[in-house]
Amino acid sequence: MSFPKNLRYTKDHEWVRLEDGKTAVIGITEYAQSELGDIVYVEVETIGKTLDAGVVFGTVEAGKTVSDLFLPV
């Protein structure tokens, strides 16, 4: 696995990358991807909403598994 230095990681196998001082890009780690397998659907219904760190902001579906996505910041 690679660990790019421009990413910050959470205990929930997610990462965040800050761009231009205002935008945060969020993803999941290589480990999470390998554990989930083929991802078939990602749902984020919280776009444009103000949320607190640690709350569920979406889900990722892979095969027969659906996992919550937690807001890292």
Asked if residue 44 lies in contact with residue 57, where contact means CB atoms within 8 angstroms, the answer is yes
Query: What distance in Å separates the CA atoms of residue 19 and residue 2, rounded to the nearest whole number?
Result: 20
pLDDT digits (tens, 9 = 90+) for 13-66: 899 998 887 888 899 998 898 999 999 999 998 888 888 988 999 999 998 899
* Cα→Cα distances 21→4, 30, 34, 56, Å: 18, 25, 31, 23
Query: What distance in Å separates the CA atoms of residue 21 and residue 26, rounded to the nearest whole number?
Result: 14
Q: What is the pLDDT of residue 3?
A: 77
Provide the whole-model pTM. 0.76
The amino acid present at 42, given as its one-letter code, is V
